[in-house]
Structure 1
Amino acid sequence: MTKAFSNGKYAIVGAGLMGRLLAVALAKRGARVELFEKGGPDAANAAARIAAAMLAPLAESAITEDNVVRMGVHSLPRWKQLIDELAKPVYFQQDGTLILWHRQDASDAERFSSHLERNCDRNRTLSKPLHLDSQSLAEIEPGVSERFTQGLYLPNEGQLDNRQLLEALLVELTLMKVPCHWNQPTNPEQLRNIANGFDWVIDCRGLGAKDSWNQLDNSSKYLRGVRGEVIRLHAPEVKLRRPTRLIHPRYPIYIAPKEDDVYVVGATEIESEDLSPMSVRSAMELLSAVYTVHSGFAEARILEMATQCRPTLKDNLPEISLDQNPHQAKLMMINGLYRHGFMISPAILDCALEILNMGSSLLAIDLDLQVSTAADQELSACA
């Protein structure tokens, strides 16, 4: 694969999670890569910066499609490989996910558990959830045993530190001397001119590519933003060992423990592209809910309240779109990772690399990742 890539020249537009992963992967394979980004190297405006970066295919199977779950299963071991190849360390953990609920929400928890078990029956690559009583809960997560007497443990799931990863990928780009054009808004179509010398132009702009996706001749391509809100807390009195989710009818939350007693707390999912600061209601619900999990959060310090919009296609599923016009550089558009960006991005990366190398991807077929072409879009429009 390295030999094939060494003859190619690639322009990547958008330096968020997918853009950086692809740029590093291609450069490691000997390709000539240039990265274009409208913002700065800190990824301040990237959706990937405002995330908990949980790698939880079984937990997410309760609310997403089976193909996304399979992408998550594929991606977990790949994350370990990708991180081990980086020069700068990135916090990575694979100690499972803990699911908790208060007594009054036991019926919701029972339905949730049944749903996960059915999903495990359909997908044998998933490990079945383990039911915890008060003793086993105290052994797995002693910090919550005073407030909860039962729970679910989802083995093998994991998480990473999203901000450390973005920084480590930037270091890698620097070490490999990849030209990075920061603070330079770029239209991928302009780079497709033969005079620029690129073989492929890869559009990884997320919501920045909204106009490009929404002009495709297929109504299912409609790209929108889904607002998410997270709070970062410094809570030295709380010692949670693994990502923890609380089942609640009004505001289910997740708590992702990072290094140095930092916790990322979130839950909200709002059909809006509003990027204004977090609402009082969201802040109160998140903080109230997290306090019911562990009393030590009462003395936590709020480091940040942040909002961002996740790029989401009409069907809430990721997609790769191709335009291989022989008179221009080939175009690949990657988008729609929605709330599962970190969970599935290595799978998307591997599919994209196969397409760039061989023109098609057996992995994409196996994972049921949608890969469309300009010809597909014309047929859809005619239909």
Structure 2
Amino acid sequence: MARIAIAGAGVAGRLMAWRLAHAGHSVSVFDPADGPCPPPPAHTGGGSPGGRSGAAGFSAAGMLSPIAELDHADARIARLGWRSLPRWQAIGAALGGAEPLVRTQGSLLLAHGSDRGAAARVLARIAAVPEAPAPEPLDAAQQRALEPALAPGLLAWHLPGEGQVLPGELLQALAEQAPGVRWHWGTAICSVDPGRLRDSHGREHRCELAVDTRGLGARPQVALRGVRGELVWLHAPGVPLARPLRLLHPRHRVYLVPRPGGRIVVGASEIESEDTSAPSLRSTVELLSAAHSLVPELAEARIERLDSHLRPARTDHLPFVHHESGLLRLNGLFRHGWLIAPALVQDALAAAGLENPHDTATA
């Protein structure tokens, strides 16, 4: 049994703590957030101005779309995502809950007829990855059968096996069901070095393995930049939507993700800025106009809240794992944190000798 201290309680940090605790290790987690629950929305009295405090994973849409991500992401991201899908299913089953935390009903790629060329380029990128399942083209009747609220006349492809997680609920469940983990909330870690963490009060926390999953909090020890993302939460009771939708468009990256309670999350802008103020009028209008063009019934949906958050990214937009004696770093998950976390955590623990790299267990 090893004494392990983890800095950062985002997706990677909580998932790593959960796995290590179930493997019998002594685990402590340090994070500046007030507690394990989602922070209050910025526009109802909490968070930083215009954005949200706490893990960026709380503000994410939670899409598990390795095939669809080939639209813009490296094939290595898709492979990590494909490895992660069965692991998420096993994790969701192990955590339980009233609502399924992980759903894999597939997703849809959609395009307007005028954007046929943009769709063809994305489909060619997908076809260039041999292990990626081929998107299944859908005619109008098949579209109506899967998603009756879709606008008529769309080009559509079904991506079997893809899905989504419920981010807030899953983050809470990972914290609540990690046996014996000591959670040090309200504790900001300023530096992570082999065998020790140092907090903002100058206190040292010694351990056998120091793990750094702080995201942007790892600067300046890790070279990272923040990339701004924006989401719009809609309340649309009565609008049927069973699976994530992604619009293929030459200018916009837009997805719609259903949530319990008649809610739909619309994203995702990607802006080279570390501004955490409220989403701009332009990006909000673009996101909502694109969403309305796919699902006309959203015309009467109510805007429940706007979110902005920063994703930790390296120059190549790829994650990295660094291991040396007494130290493990995992960072740079960018916009793919939920998609790739299980496979990346497995690779990190294998690098540290805490997990069999050839283990096929899905949880």
**What's the secondary structure of 1:152's corresponding residue?**
strand
Matched, 1:128 2:129: no
Q: CA deviation at 1:52?
A: 0.8
Q: How many Å separate the matches in 1 of 2:109 and 2:117? A: 14
Specify the alignment match of 1:293 in structure 2: 294
**Structure 1 residue aligned with 2:186, among 178, 183, 192?**
183
Q: How many Å separate the matches in 2 of 1:332 and 1:69? A: 24
Q: CA deviation at 1:267?
A: 2.1
Are residues 193 and 288 of structure 1, via their aligned partners in 2, closer, same or farther at CA, if it must alter by over 3 Å? closer
**Structure 1 residue aligned with 2:14, among 17, 20, 44?**
20
Matched residue count: 337
Q: CA deviation at 1:33?
A: 0.6
Are residues 115 and 256 of structure 1, via their aligned partners in 2, closer, same or farther at CA, if it must alter by over 3 Å? same
CA contact (8 A) 1:237 1:296 kept: no
Q: How many Å separate the matches in 2 of 1:98 and 1:237? A: 20
Amino acid at match of 2:30: F
**What's the secondary structure of 1:40's corresponding residue?**
coil
Q: How many Å separate the matches in 1 of 2:77 and 2:64? A: 12
Specify the alignment match of 1:345 in structure 2: 341
Q: CA deviation at 1:322?
A: 2.2
Amino acid at match of 1:28: H
Structure 1 segment 59-208 matched on structure 2, within 5 A: 59-86=68-95, 88-89=97-98, 90-119=100-129, 122-123=130-131, 126-144=132-150, 146-173=151-178, 176-189=179-192, 192-193=195-196, 196-208=205-217
Q: Which has the larger radius of gyration?
A: 1
Instruction: Give CA deviations for 1:29-81 in whole Å, capped at 9, x if unaligned.
Output: 11111110111222532111111111111111221122211111100000011
Q: How many Å separate the matches in 2 of 1:264 and 1:26? A: 32
Q: CA deviation at 1:265?
A: 0.5
TM-score, normalization by structure 1: 0.83
Which protein, 1 or 2, shows the higher relative CO under an 8 Å CA cutoff with sep ≥ 6? Answer: 2
CA contact (8 A) 1:127 1:156 kept: no
Q: CA deviation at 1:155?
A: 1.1
**Structure 2 residue aligned with 1:40, among 34, 45, 62?**
34
Q: CA deviation at 1:190?
A: 7.0
Please state which structure has a larger fraction of its residues in strand.
Answer: 2
Instruction: Give CA deviations for 1:135-186 in whole Å, capped at 9, x if unaligned.
Output: 2222222221x4234311111111111111111112113xx23211111112
**What's the secondary structure of 1:142's corresponding residue?**
coil
Specify the alignment match of 1:310 in structure 2: 311
Q: How many Å separate the matches in 2 of 1:9 and 1:348? A: 21
CA contact (8 A) 2:64 2:164 kept: yes
Q: CA deviation at 1:361?
A: 4.6
Amino acid at match of 2:219: K
Q: CA deviation at 1:249?
A: 2.3
Are residues 166 and 354 of structure 1, via their aligned partners in 2, closer, same or farther at CA, if it must alter by over 3 Å? same
What are structure 1's unaligned runs of at least 5 residues?
A: 1-6, 214-221, 325-329, 364-383
Q: How many Å separate the matches in 1 of 2:285 and 2:154? A: 25
Deviation larger for 127-136 or 87-96: 87-96
Specify the alignment match of 2:200 in structure 1: none
Q: CA deviation at 1:248?
A: 2.1
Are residues 238 and 211 of structure 1, via their aligned partners in 2, closer, same or farther at CA, if it must alter by over 3 Å? same
Q: How many Å separate the matches in 2 of 1:83 and 1:188? A: 32
Identical-residue share of aligned pairs (%): 37
Instruction: Give CA deviations for 1:347-370 in whole Å, capped at 9, x if unaligned.
Output: 01111222233599568xxxxxxx
Amino acid at match of 1:260: G
Q: How many Å separate the matches in 2 of 1:248 and 1:55? A: 20
What are structure 2's unaligned runs of at least 5 residues?
A: 40-53, 198-203
Specify the alignment match of 2:50 in structure 1: none
Q: RMSD in angstroms over aligned alpha carbons?
A: 2.0
TM-score, normalization by structure 2: 0.87
Please state which structure has a larger fraction of its residues in helix.
Answer: 1
**What's the secondary structure of 2:169's corresponding residue?**
helix
Are residues 37 and 311 of structure 1, via their aligned partners in 2, closer, same or farther at CA, if it must alter by over 3 Å? same
Are residues 362 and 292 of structure 1, via their aligned partners in 2, closer, same or farther at CA, if it must alter by over 3 Å? same
CA contact (8 A) 2:104 2:161 kept: yes
Q: How many Å separate the matches in 2 of 1:313 and 1:155? A: 30
Specify the alignment match of 1:219 in structure 2: none
Instruction: Give CA deviations for 1:59-107 in whole Å, capped at 9, x if unaligned.
Output: 1122112221111110000001111121545432111111112222122
Q: How many Å separate the matches in 1 of 2:38 and 2:16? A: 15
Q: How many Å separate the matches in 2 of 1:193 and 1:112? A: 45
CA contact (8 A) 2:192 2:211 kept: no
CA contact (8 A) 2:102 2:163 kept: yes
